[in-house]
Amino acid sequence: MRTNELVSHVQKIVTSPRLRWAHDPQLWVELFVTVNLAILAADIFIAHSVNHFQKAAEYIPLYFSIGAPIVLAVVIVLCWVLGLQAPWRDVGYMAT
């Protein structure tokens, strides 16, 4: 009997609406991509620091890798907090 109560309590915790983010694979992929781009910014900075950014064009991927995670984080928040889907469409148009 005690085991059934424990299982019931765990099921309530796992299915709680407050944990819906943990069960959304799309959100996990979006967060993975955002974090990956943020880490890429540090990688690009280290790689181009070796030659002290001798060519101005070397700053382009650095700026993109700094700006993209910020934009994606804002879009993720807009989609998750406000439930909007239009920001993803707009970011898609900006990328093309």
Domain ranges of the chain: 20-95
Q: Are 75 and 47 in contact (CB under 8 A)?
A: no
For 94, the token pair is: 């900006």
Higher-pLDDT residue of 86 and 21 is 86
pTM reported for the whole predicted model: 0.70
Q: What is the pLDDT of residues 67-95, one digit of tens each?
A: 999 999 999 999 888 888 888 888 888 77
Average pLDDT, the chain: 85
CA distance 21 to 71: 20
Q: Are 36 and 60 in contact (CB under 8 A)?
A: no
Report pLDDT for 14: 66
Report pLDDT for 1: 58
CA distance 70 to 68: 5
Is pLDDT at 53 greater than 90 in this prediction? Answer: no
Report pLDDT for 8: 81
Is pLDDT at 3 greater than 90 in this prediction? Answer: no
Report pLDDT for 26: 87
